A and B are shown apart, each in its own frame.
Chain A
Amino acid sequence: MNKIADVVVIGGGVIGCSVAYHLAKRGAKVTVLEKREGLCFGASGSNQGGVPVSLFLPESPLLELIRASITLYKSLSQEIGYDIEYQQSGLLVCSVDEKQYPYLEKHVQEMQRKGVDIRLLEGDEIRKLEPIIGYDVVAGTEEWESGIVNPFKVTHGLAYAARKFGAEFILTTKIYGIEVKENRITSVITDKGKLATKFIVATTGAWSLEIGQMVGLTIPVRPQRGQVIVTEPLPLNKRWNYINDADYLNIAFNADEAGNYENQRIKLGVAGNYIQKDTGTWTIGSSRDFAGYDNQVTMETTNYLVKRMIQFIPKLKDSNFIRMYAGLRPFCYPDGLPIISEVDNPSGFLIATGHAGEGVTLAPITGKLISELITEKKTSLPIDAFRFSRFKDMETEAD
Protein backbone atom coordinates (compact mmCIF):
# COMPACT_ATOMS: atom_id res chain seq x y z
CA MET A 1 0.00 0.00 0.00
CA ASN A 2 1.15 3.51 -0.78
CA LYS A 3 1.78 5.70 2.24
CA ILE A 4 0.50 8.94 0.76
CA ALA A 5 -2.54 9.69 -1.40
CA ASP A 6 -4.25 12.82 -2.61
CA VAL A 7 -7.64 11.21 -2.19
CA VAL A 8 -8.75 8.11 -0.31
CA VAL A 9 -12.06 6.68 -1.51
CA ILE A 10 -13.71 4.45 1.07
CA GLY A 11 -15.90 1.79 -0.56
CA GLY A 12 -15.48 -0.18 -3.77
CA GLY A 13 -18.99 -0.07 -5.14
CA VAL A 14 -20.12 1.60 -8.30
CA ILE A 15 -20.02 5.08 -6.75
CA GLY A 16 -16.54 4.60 -5.29
CA CYS A 17 -15.19 3.28 -8.58
CA SER A 18 -16.71 6.16 -10.51
CA VAL A 19 -15.28 8.71 -8.07
CA ALA A 20 -11.88 7.01 -8.32
CA TYR A 21 -12.00 6.99 -12.11
CA HIS A 22 -12.94 10.64 -12.49
CA LEU A 23 -10.34 11.78 -9.97
CA ALA A 24 -7.54 9.61 -11.35
CA LYS A 25 -8.36 10.84 -14.84
CA ARG A 26 -7.82 14.39 -13.59
CA GLY A 27 -4.41 13.40 -12.28
CA ALA A 28 -5.13 12.84 -8.59
CA LYS A 29 -3.33 10.10 -6.74
CA VAL A 30 -6.25 7.92 -5.64
CA THR A 31 -6.41 4.96 -3.25
CA VAL A 32 -9.65 3.02 -2.91
CA LEU A 33 -10.15 1.05 0.30
CA GLU A 34 -12.65 -1.81 0.29
CA LYS A 35 -13.54 -4.09 3.20
CA ARG A 36 -14.53 -7.08 1.04
CA GLU A 37 -12.21 -9.21 -1.09
CA GLY A 38 -13.56 -7.69 -4.29
CA LEU A 39 -15.62 -4.90 -5.80
CA CYS A 40 -19.33 -4.46 -6.32
CA PHE A 41 -20.42 -6.57 -3.31
CA GLY A 42 -22.94 -4.14 -1.81
CA ALA A 43 -25.96 -2.54 -3.43
CA SER A 44 -24.14 -2.17 -6.78
CA GLY A 45 -24.01 -5.94 -7.12
CA SER A 46 -27.73 -6.40 -6.59
CA ASN A 47 -28.91 -3.71 -8.97
CA GLN A 48 -31.01 -4.63 -12.00
CA GLY A 49 -29.18 -2.18 -14.23
CA GLY A 50 -32.06 0.07 -15.25
CA VAL A 51 -31.26 3.73 -15.89
CA PRO A 52 -34.72 5.27 -15.86
CA VAL A 53 -35.76 8.79 -16.83
CA SER A 54 -39.55 8.73 -16.83
CA LEU A 55 -39.80 7.20 -13.35
CA PHE A 56 -38.86 10.55 -11.90
CA LEU A 57 -41.24 13.38 -11.37
CA PRO A 58 -40.53 16.41 -13.56
CA GLU A 59 -39.91 18.58 -10.51
CA SER A 60 -37.41 16.16 -8.96
CA PRO A 61 -33.89 17.60 -8.65
CA LEU A 62 -32.71 14.14 -9.72
CA LEU A 63 -34.03 14.50 -13.26
CA GLU A 64 -31.24 16.80 -14.42
CA LEU A 65 -28.63 14.58 -12.75
CA ILE A 66 -29.98 11.44 -14.37
CA ARG A 67 -30.04 12.97 -17.82
CA ALA A 68 -26.44 14.10 -17.35
CA SER A 69 -25.53 10.61 -16.15
CA ILE A 70 -27.07 9.05 -19.26
CA THR A 71 -25.03 11.37 -21.45
CA LEU A 72 -21.91 10.06 -19.70
CA TYR A 73 -23.08 6.44 -20.05
CA LYS A 74 -23.44 6.85 -23.80
CA SER A 75 -19.72 7.36 -24.27
CA LEU A 76 -18.43 5.36 -21.30
CA SER A 77 -17.66 2.05 -23.04
CA GLN A 78 -15.58 3.81 -25.64
CA GLU A 79 -13.91 6.05 -23.10
CA ILE A 80 -12.73 3.22 -20.84
CA GLY A 81 -12.12 0.64 -23.55
CA TYR A 82 -14.53 -1.93 -22.13
CA ASP A 83 -18.13 -2.70 -23.03
CA ILE A 84 -20.43 -1.94 -20.11
CA GLU A 85 -23.41 -3.12 -22.17
CA TYR A 86 -25.16 0.24 -22.25
CA GLN A 87 -28.30 0.18 -24.38
CA GLN A 88 -30.68 3.02 -25.05
CA SER A 89 -33.52 0.61 -24.42
CA GLY A 90 -36.24 3.09 -23.67
CA LEU A 91 -38.72 2.44 -20.89
CA LEU A 92 -42.34 1.29 -20.89
CA VAL A 93 -44.17 2.29 -17.72
CA CYS A 94 -47.43 0.35 -17.36
CA SER A 95 -50.41 0.89 -15.14
CA VAL A 96 -52.90 -1.76 -14.02
CA ASP A 97 -55.06 0.77 -12.22
CA GLU A 98 -57.53 2.96 -14.15
CA LYS A 99 -57.36 5.57 -11.42
CA GLN A 100 -53.77 6.25 -12.41
CA TYR A 101 -54.76 7.29 -15.95
CA PRO A 102 -55.12 11.06 -15.34
CA TYR A 103 -51.88 10.94 -13.41
CA LEU A 104 -50.06 9.35 -16.34
CA GLU A 105 -51.56 11.92 -18.73
CA LYS A 106 -50.28 14.76 -16.59
CA HIS A 107 -46.88 13.08 -16.20
CA VAL A 108 -46.49 12.75 -19.98
CA GLN A 109 -47.39 16.40 -20.56
CA GLU A 110 -44.98 17.65 -17.93
CA MET A 111 -42.14 15.42 -19.10
CA GLN A 112 -42.72 16.52 -22.69
CA ARG A 113 -42.35 20.10 -21.50
CA LYS A 114 -38.96 19.06 -20.13
CA GLY A 115 -38.04 17.83 -23.59
CA VAL A 116 -38.37 14.12 -22.79
CA ASP A 117 -39.39 11.90 -25.72
CA ILE A 118 -42.44 10.29 -24.11
CA ARG A 119 -46.01 9.42 -25.13
CA LEU A 120 -49.11 7.86 -23.65
CA LEU A 121 -50.35 4.48 -24.91
CA GLU A 122 -53.60 2.61 -24.29
CA GLY A 123 -53.44 -0.96 -23.05
CA ASP A 124 -54.51 -2.40 -26.41
CA GLU A 125 -51.86 -0.45 -28.29
CA ILE A 126 -49.23 -1.74 -25.89
CA ARG A 127 -50.35 -5.36 -26.37
CA LYS A 128 -50.35 -4.91 -30.14
CA LEU A 129 -46.70 -3.84 -29.99
CA GLU A 130 -45.74 -6.34 -27.28
CA PRO A 131 -48.12 -9.29 -27.09
CA ILE A 132 -46.53 -10.55 -23.85
CA ILE A 133 -48.09 -7.68 -21.86
CA GLY A 134 -51.07 -8.80 -19.77
CA TYR A 135 -54.71 -7.76 -20.11
CA ASP A 136 -54.64 -6.07 -16.71
CA VAL A 137 -52.50 -3.29 -18.17
CA VAL A 138 -54.84 -0.40 -18.95
CA ALA A 139 -52.36 2.23 -20.11
CA GLY A 140 -48.72 3.11 -20.17
CA THR A 141 -46.05 5.52 -21.27
CA GLU A 142 -43.20 4.82 -23.60
CA GLU A 143 -40.12 6.96 -23.37
CA TRP A 144 -36.81 6.61 -25.19
CA GLU A 145 -34.12 8.32 -23.09
CA SER A 146 -33.91 5.56 -20.47
CA GLY A 147 -31.41 2.79 -20.82
CA ILE A 148 -29.95 -0.30 -19.26
CA VAL A 149 -26.38 -1.21 -18.32
CA ASN A 150 -24.58 -4.15 -16.76
CA PRO A 151 -23.86 -3.00 -13.18
CA PHE A 152 -20.95 -5.45 -12.67
CA LYS A 153 -19.31 -4.34 -15.88
CA VAL A 154 -19.85 -0.68 -15.06
CA THR A 155 -18.23 -1.06 -11.64
CA HIS A 156 -15.30 -3.19 -12.75
CA GLY A 157 -14.89 -1.23 -15.97
CA LEU A 158 -14.56 2.00 -14.00
CA ALA A 159 -12.08 0.35 -11.62
CA TYR A 160 -10.08 -0.97 -14.57
CA ALA A 161 -9.97 2.50 -16.15
CA ALA A 162 -9.10 4.12 -12.80
CA ARG A 163 -6.15 1.71 -12.40
CA LYS A 164 -4.92 2.69 -15.85
CA PHE A 165 -4.74 6.26 -14.54
CA GLY A 166 -2.77 5.06 -11.53
CA ALA A 167 -5.50 4.49 -8.93
CA GLU A 168 -4.72 1.84 -6.35
CA PHE A 169 -7.36 -0.56 -4.98
CA ILE A 170 -6.71 -2.11 -1.58
CA LEU A 171 -9.13 -4.92 -0.77
CA THR A 172 -9.95 -6.71 2.50
CA THR A 173 -9.13 -3.56 4.44
CA LYS A 174 -10.61 -2.46 7.73
CA ILE A 175 -10.78 1.21 8.65
CA TYR A 176 -9.99 1.91 12.29
CA GLY A 177 -10.16 5.66 12.30
CA ILE A 178 -9.67 8.98 10.55
CA GLU A 179 -7.18 11.56 11.78
CA VAL A 180 -8.02 15.24 11.75
CA LYS A 181 -5.71 18.13 12.51
CA GLU A 182 -6.98 21.70 12.81
CA ASN A 183 -10.33 20.72 11.31
CA ARG A 184 -8.64 19.12 8.32
CA ILE A 185 -8.39 15.49 7.27
CA THR A 186 -4.82 14.23 7.54
CA SER A 187 -4.91 10.43 7.36
CA VAL A 188 -6.82 7.18 7.46
CA ILE A 189 -5.85 4.45 9.92
CA THR A 190 -6.37 0.94 8.56
CA ASP A 191 -5.45 -2.59 9.56
CA LYS A 192 -2.75 -2.35 6.90
CA GLY A 193 -1.20 0.84 8.23
CA LYS A 194 -1.63 4.57 8.13
CA LEU A 195 -2.32 6.39 4.90
CA ALA A 196 -1.79 10.15 4.75
CA THR A 197 -4.27 11.99 2.55
CA LYS A 198 -5.71 15.42 1.79
CA PHE A 199 -9.20 14.20 0.97
CA ILE A 200 -11.48 11.33 1.91
CA VAL A 201 -14.60 10.44 -0.04
CA ALA A 202 -17.07 8.22 1.80
CA THR A 203 -18.76 6.09 -0.85
CA THR A 204 -19.87 3.60 1.74
CA GLY A 205 -23.49 3.08 0.69
CA ALA A 206 -25.71 1.61 3.38
CA TRP A 207 -22.71 1.36 5.70
CA SER A 208 -22.04 5.11 5.86
CA LEU A 209 -23.15 5.81 9.41
CA GLU A 210 -20.06 4.20 10.93
CA ILE A 211 -17.61 6.10 8.72
CA GLY A 212 -19.36 9.41 9.40
CA GLN A 213 -19.14 8.83 13.13
CA MET A 214 -15.35 8.57 12.85
CA VAL A 215 -15.30 12.29 12.08
CA GLY A 216 -18.23 13.23 14.31
CA LEU A 217 -20.87 13.39 11.56
CA THR A 218 -24.27 11.73 11.37
CA ILE A 219 -24.77 10.65 7.79
CA PRO A 220 -28.53 10.06 7.72
CA VAL A 221 -28.62 6.88 5.66
CA ARG A 222 -30.14 3.52 6.50
CA PRO A 223 -30.14 0.22 4.59
CA GLN A 224 -33.14 -0.33 2.35
CA ARG A 225 -33.49 -3.89 1.13
CA GLY A 226 -34.27 -4.66 -2.50
CA GLN A 227 -35.14 -8.17 -3.68
CA VAL A 228 -34.79 -9.50 -7.21
CA ILE A 229 -35.65 -12.77 -9.00
CA VAL A 230 -33.78 -13.96 -12.11
CA THR A 231 -35.38 -16.24 -14.72
CA GLU A 232 -34.01 -18.72 -17.20
CA PRO A 233 -33.42 -17.36 -20.74
CA LEU A 234 -36.68 -16.71 -22.61
CA PRO A 235 -37.50 -15.48 -26.12
CA LEU A 236 -36.65 -11.81 -26.55
CA ASN A 237 -39.36 -9.18 -26.37
CA LYS A 238 -40.09 -7.31 -29.58
CA ARG A 239 -40.08 -3.68 -28.56
CA TRP A 240 -39.42 -3.15 -24.86
CA ASN A 241 -36.92 -4.99 -22.67
CA TYR A 242 -37.30 -2.51 -19.82
CA ILE A 243 -40.77 -2.39 -18.30
CA ASN A 244 -41.92 -0.73 -15.13
CA ASP A 245 -44.92 -0.47 -12.89
CA ALA A 246 -46.52 2.99 -12.71
CA ASP A 247 -46.69 2.51 -8.94
CA TYR A 248 -43.07 3.61 -8.87
CA LEU A 249 -44.25 7.08 -9.79
CA ASN A 250 -46.26 7.21 -6.59
CA ILE A 251 -44.69 5.05 -3.98
CA ALA A 252 -41.22 3.82 -4.57
CA PHE A 253 -39.45 7.08 -3.93
CA ASN A 254 -41.47 7.96 -0.91
CA ALA A 255 -41.12 5.25 1.67
CA ASP A 256 -42.71 7.32 4.43
CA GLU A 257 -45.90 7.71 2.52
CA ALA A 258 -45.92 4.05 1.54
CA GLY A 259 -45.73 3.09 5.19
CA ASN A 260 -49.07 4.78 5.82
CA TYR A 261 -50.97 2.55 3.46
CA GLU A 262 -52.71 -0.53 4.71
CA ASN A 263 -51.53 -2.57 1.80
CA GLN A 264 -48.71 -4.88 2.75
CA ARG A 265 -47.34 -4.99 -0.80
CA ILE A 266 -46.88 -1.25 -0.81
CA LYS A 267 -45.43 -1.35 2.68
CA LEU A 268 -42.76 -3.72 1.38
CA GLY A 269 -42.24 -1.34 -1.53
CA VAL A 270 -43.05 -4.01 -4.09
CA ALA A 271 -43.63 -2.61 -7.58
CA GLY A 272 -42.74 -4.16 -10.88
CA ASN A 273 -39.37 -3.52 -12.46
CA TYR A 274 -38.72 -5.96 -15.30
CA ILE A 275 -35.59 -6.05 -17.42
CA GLN A 276 -34.72 -8.59 -20.08
CA LYS A 277 -31.07 -8.91 -20.98
CA ASP A 278 -29.91 -9.84 -24.47
CA THR A 279 -29.23 -13.34 -23.17
CA GLY A 280 -32.98 -13.67 -22.64
CA THR A 281 -32.98 -13.77 -18.84
CA TRP A 282 -35.40 -11.49 -17.03
CA THR A 283 -34.77 -9.86 -13.70
CA ILE A 284 -37.96 -9.35 -11.75
CA GLY A 285 -37.81 -6.69 -9.10
CA SER A 286 -38.09 -4.90 -6.96
CA SER A 287 -38.90 -4.12 -3.37
CA ARG A 288 -37.95 -1.50 -0.81
CA ASP A 289 -38.25 -2.43 2.82
CA PHE A 290 -36.27 -1.80 5.98
CA ALA A 291 -34.91 -4.82 7.79
CA GLY A 292 -31.67 -3.52 9.23
CA TYR A 293 -28.65 -5.18 7.66
CA ASP A 294 -30.52 -8.39 6.79
CA ASN A 295 -29.86 -8.98 3.09
CA GLN A 296 -31.80 -12.22 2.74
CA VAL A 297 -34.58 -12.85 0.28
CA THR A 298 -37.95 -13.39 1.98
CA MET A 299 -40.88 -15.56 0.89
CA GLU A 300 -43.33 -12.78 1.67
CA THR A 301 -41.70 -10.26 -0.65
CA THR A 302 -40.98 -12.67 -3.51
CA ASN A 303 -44.59 -13.80 -3.29
CA TYR A 304 -45.73 -10.22 -3.86
CA LEU A 305 -43.17 -9.75 -6.62
CA VAL A 306 -44.53 -12.69 -8.58
CA LYS A 307 -48.19 -11.79 -7.94
CA ARG A 308 -47.52 -8.31 -9.20
CA MET A 309 -45.58 -9.62 -12.20
CA ILE A 310 -48.55 -11.78 -13.28
CA GLN A 311 -50.57 -8.61 -13.84
CA PHE A 312 -47.93 -7.15 -16.13
CA ILE A 313 -46.24 -10.10 -17.89
CA PRO A 314 -48.43 -13.11 -17.00
CA LYS A 315 -46.59 -15.53 -19.25
CA LEU A 316 -43.46 -15.38 -17.11
CA LYS A 317 -45.14 -17.37 -14.34
CA ASP A 318 -44.71 -20.57 -16.37
CA SER A 319 -40.97 -20.07 -16.70
CA ASN A 320 -38.30 -21.15 -14.27
CA PHE A 321 -36.36 -18.86 -12.03
CA ILE A 322 -32.74 -19.70 -11.40
CA ARG A 323 -31.63 -17.19 -8.81
CA MET A 324 -32.90 -14.73 -6.24
CA TYR A 325 -30.95 -12.10 -4.39
CA ALA A 326 -31.34 -9.10 -2.15
CA GLY A 327 -29.15 -6.08 -1.62
CA LEU A 328 -28.98 -3.18 0.78
CA ARG A 329 -29.34 0.24 -0.78
CA PRO A 330 -28.43 3.42 1.05
CA PHE A 331 -31.66 5.28 1.74
CA CYS A 332 -31.29 8.85 2.92
CA TYR A 333 -34.20 8.99 5.33
CA PRO A 334 -34.78 12.76 5.70
CA ASP A 335 -35.68 13.32 2.04
CA GLY A 336 -34.79 10.26 -0.06
CA LEU A 337 -32.23 12.22 -2.09
CA PRO A 338 -28.55 11.35 -2.40
CA ILE A 339 -25.77 13.19 -0.62
CA ILE A 340 -23.10 14.46 -3.04
CA SER A 341 -21.19 16.95 -1.00
CA GLU A 342 -18.18 18.19 0.89
CA VAL A 343 -18.67 19.03 4.56
CA ASP A 344 -17.62 22.14 6.51
CA ASN A 345 -15.91 20.27 9.28
CA PRO A 346 -13.62 18.45 8.91
CA SER A 347 -12.59 19.96 5.62
CA GLY A 348 -11.33 17.47 3.10
CA PHE A 349 -14.14 15.00 3.95
CA LEU A 350 -16.67 14.37 1.17
CA ILE A 351 -19.74 12.16 1.00
CA ALA A 352 -21.30 10.38 -1.97
CA THR A 353 -24.04 8.06 -0.78
CA GLY A 354 -27.81 7.87 -0.26
CA HIS A 355 -28.54 7.00 -3.89
CA ALA A 356 -31.12 4.40 -2.82
CA GLY A 357 -32.02 2.27 -5.83
CA GLU A 358 -30.33 4.65 -8.26
CA GLY A 359 -26.66 4.16 -7.48
CA VAL A 360 -25.87 2.63 -10.84
CA THR A 361 -28.04 5.21 -12.61
CA LEU A 362 -26.27 8.10 -10.94
CA ALA A 363 -22.72 6.73 -10.65
CA PRO A 364 -21.19 8.48 -13.68
CA ILE A 365 -22.45 11.93 -12.77
CA THR A 366 -21.72 11.45 -9.07
CA GLY A 367 -18.10 10.60 -9.81
CA LYS A 368 -17.79 13.60 -12.06
CA LEU A 369 -19.33 16.02 -9.55
CA ILE A 370 -17.17 14.79 -6.66
CA SER A 371 -14.05 15.11 -8.81
CA GLU A 372 -15.07 18.67 -9.66
CA LEU A 373 -15.64 19.51 -5.99
CA ILE A 374 -12.15 18.31 -5.14
CA THR A 375 -10.20 19.68 -8.06
CA GLU A 376 -12.15 22.84 -8.93
CA LYS A 377 -14.19 23.66 -5.80
CA LYS A 378 -17.22 24.15 -8.04
CA THR A 379 -19.54 21.87 -9.99
CA SER A 380 -20.85 21.82 -13.56
CA LEU A 381 -24.39 21.19 -12.30
CA PRO A 382 -26.17 22.69 -9.29
CA ILE A 383 -25.91 20.37 -6.28
CA ASP A 384 -27.74 22.38 -3.61
CA ALA A 385 -30.39 19.70 -3.24
CA PHE A 386 -27.68 17.13 -2.50
CA ARG A 387 -25.52 19.05 -0.06
CA PHE A 388 -24.85 17.65 3.38
CA SER A 389 -25.60 21.08 4.88
CA ARG A 390 -29.29 20.58 4.09
CA PHE A 391 -29.53 18.45 7.25
CA LYS A 392 -28.15 21.16 9.49
CA ASP A 393 -31.43 22.22 11.06
CA MET A 394 -32.78 18.75 11.10
CA GLU A 395 -32.89 16.49 14.11
CA THR A 396 -31.07 13.42 12.92
CA GLU A 397 -32.28 10.14 14.27
CA ALA A 398 -29.36 7.81 14.30
CA ASP A 399 -30.37 4.19 14.41
Chain B
Amino acid sequence: MDTIICRCEEITEDEIRDAIRKFELRTIDEVKRLTGAGMGLCQGRSCEPLLKRILAQETNRGINQIMPLSRRPPAKPIKLEALIREKGNES
Protein backbone atom coordinates (compact mmCIF):
# COMPACT_ATOMS: atom_id res chain seq x y z
CA MET B 1 0.00 0.00 0.00
CA ASP B 2 1.28 3.44 -0.87
CA THR B 3 0.58 5.29 2.35
CA ILE B 4 2.23 8.72 2.39
CA ILE B 5 4.34 9.11 5.52
CA CYS B 6 6.05 12.42 4.81
CA ARG B 7 3.49 14.81 3.41
CA CYS B 8 5.96 17.60 2.64
CA GLU B 9 8.12 15.45 0.37
CA GLU B 10 5.49 12.83 -0.50
CA ILE B 11 7.48 9.83 0.65
CA THR B 12 5.60 6.56 0.97
CA GLU B 13 5.75 3.86 3.60
CA ASP B 14 7.09 1.41 1.02
CA GLU B 15 9.98 3.69 0.10
CA ILE B 16 10.88 4.00 3.76
CA ARG B 17 10.70 0.28 4.49
CA ASP B 18 12.72 -0.51 1.34
CA ALA B 19 15.48 1.90 2.34
CA ILE B 20 15.68 0.52 5.89
CA ARG B 21 16.05 -3.02 4.56
CA LYS B 22 18.35 -2.28 1.65
CA PHE B 23 20.79 -0.17 3.66
CA GLU B 24 20.31 -1.91 7.03
CA LEU B 25 19.46 1.38 8.71
CA ARG B 26 19.09 1.81 12.46
CA THR B 27 18.55 5.58 12.79
CA ILE B 28 15.78 7.83 11.52
CA ASP B 29 18.43 10.42 10.64
CA GLU B 30 19.63 8.03 7.95
CA VAL B 31 16.08 7.23 6.84
CA LYS B 32 15.55 10.96 6.44
CA ARG B 33 18.77 11.50 4.50
CA LEU B 34 18.23 8.62 2.11
CA THR B 35 14.50 8.88 1.44
CA GLY B 36 13.94 12.59 1.97
CA ALA B 37 11.20 11.92 4.53
CA GLY B 38 11.46 14.64 7.15
CA MET B 39 13.59 16.84 4.93
CA GLY B 40 10.83 19.14 3.74
CA LEU B 41 9.37 22.35 5.04
CA CYS B 42 8.22 20.95 8.38
CA GLN B 43 11.57 19.19 8.98
CA GLY B 44 9.97 15.99 10.22
CA ARG B 45 7.65 17.48 12.79
CA SER B 46 4.69 15.54 11.49
CA CYS B 47 6.37 12.36 10.24
CA GLU B 48 9.02 11.79 12.89
CA PRO B 49 6.75 9.64 15.14
CA LEU B 50 5.73 7.56 12.12
CA LEU B 51 9.33 7.12 11.00
CA LYS B 52 10.26 6.00 14.50
CA ARG B 53 7.46 3.47 14.58
CA ILE B 54 8.34 1.98 11.19
CA LEU B 55 12.03 1.77 12.07
CA ALA B 56 11.24 0.18 15.44
CA GLN B 57 9.17 -2.48 13.67
CA GLU B 58 11.77 -3.13 11.01
CA THR B 59 14.63 -3.46 13.49
CA ASN B 60 12.69 -5.31 16.19
CA ARG B 61 13.17 -2.66 18.82
CA GLY B 62 10.97 -0.57 21.05
CA ILE B 63 10.15 2.98 19.99
CA ASN B 64 12.09 4.34 22.96
CA GLN B 65 15.23 2.68 21.62
CA ILE B 66 15.11 4.79 18.46
CA MET B 67 17.15 7.99 18.59
CA PRO B 68 15.20 11.16 17.73
CA LEU B 69 16.04 13.18 14.61
CA SER B 70 19.04 15.46 14.99
CA ARG B 71 17.75 18.93 15.65
CA ARG B 72 18.74 21.45 13.02
CA PRO B 73 17.89 25.12 13.47
CA PRO B 74 15.61 26.94 12.72
CA ALA B 75 12.49 25.40 14.23
CA LYS B 76 10.41 26.70 11.34
CA PRO B 77 11.28 28.31 7.99
CA ILE B 78 12.64 31.85 8.31
CA LYS B 79 13.68 34.36 5.66
CA LEU B 80 17.41 34.23 4.96
CA GLU B 81 17.48 37.96 5.38
CA ALA B 82 16.75 37.46 9.07
CA LEU B 83 20.26 36.10 9.48
CA ILE B 84 21.83 39.44 8.56
CA ARG B 85 19.80 41.71 10.80
CA GLU B 86 22.36 43.58 12.79
CA LYS B 87 20.85 42.61 16.12
CA GLY B 88 21.66 39.07 17.10
CA ASN B 89 25.05 38.97 15.43
CA GLU B 90 26.66 37.49 18.50
CA SER B 91 27.20 33.79 18.42
Binding site for B on A (CB under 8 A): 37-41, 45, 152-153, 156, 159-160, 163, 169, 171, 229, 231-232, 279, 284, 297-303, 305-307, 309-310, 316-325
* Bound CA–CA A305/B80 (angstroms): 10
Residues in A with CB closer than 8 Å to B50 are: none
Cβ-based interface call for B81 (8 A): yes
Residue from B30, B39, B80, B90 in contact with A40 in the complex, judged by beta carbons closer than 8 Å? B30
B43 partner residues in chain A, CB cutoff 8 A: 322-323
Q: Return B34 CB to nearest CB of chain A, in Å.
A: 6
**Contact: A37 with B27, CB < 8 Å?**
yes
A-contact bits for B72-86, CB 8 A (1 contact / 0 none): 111001111101100
Given contacts A38-B26, A38-B29, contact A322 B41 (CB under 8 A): yes
The reply to whether A303 and B83 contact each other, CB–CB distance below 8 Å, is yes
**B54 on the interface (CB 8 Å rule)?**
no
Question: Lowest 3 CB-CB distances: which A-B pairs, in order?
Answer: A320-B77, A298-B91, A152-B33
A225 to chain B, nearest CB (A): 12
Q: What's the dominant secondary structure at chain B's contact region?
A: loop
Contact between A306 and B80, CB atoms less than 8 A apart: yes
B80 — which chain A residues lie within 8 A by C-beta?
229, 231, 284, 306, 309, 316-321
Complex Cα gap A81–B29 (Å): 23
> Known contacts A159-B23, A325-B72; is A303 also within 8 Å of B30 by CB?
no
Q: Which residues of A contact B88 (CB under 8 A)?
A: 299
24 contacts between A and B (CB under 8 A): A37-B27, A37-B67, A38-B25, A38-B30, A156-B30, A156-B34, A160-B22, A229-B80, A279-B36, A299-B91, A306-B80, A306-B81, A306-B83, A310-B84, A317-B84, A318-B79, A318-B81, A319-B80, A320-B79, A321-B74, A322-B77, A323-B72, A323-B73, A324-B73
Given the complex of chains A and B, what is the CA–CA distance between A152 and B33 in angstroms? 6
A37-B26, A39-B30, A317-B80 known; 7 new pairs, CB 8 Å cut-off, are A152-B34, A156-B23, A299-B90, A300-B90, A310-B84, A322-B43, A324-B74
Chain B residues with CB under 8 Å of A37's CB are 26-27, 67
Q: Contact mask B6-49 → A, CB, 8 Å, 1/0? A: 00000000000000001111110110011010011101000000
Residues from chain B with Cβ under 8 Å of A302 in the complex: 83
Provide the bound-state CA to CA distance between A116 and B83, in Å.
Answer: 38
Shortest Cβ gap from B69 to chain A (Å): 11
Q: How far is the CB of A267 from chain B (nearest CB, A)?
A: 14
* B3: interface (CB < 8 Å): no
Which of A153, A156, A159, A306: most chain B Cβ within 10 A? A156
Q: Which residues of chain A come closer than 8 Å to B40, judged between CB atoms?
A: 322
Q: Does B60 contact A (CB under 8 A)?
A: no
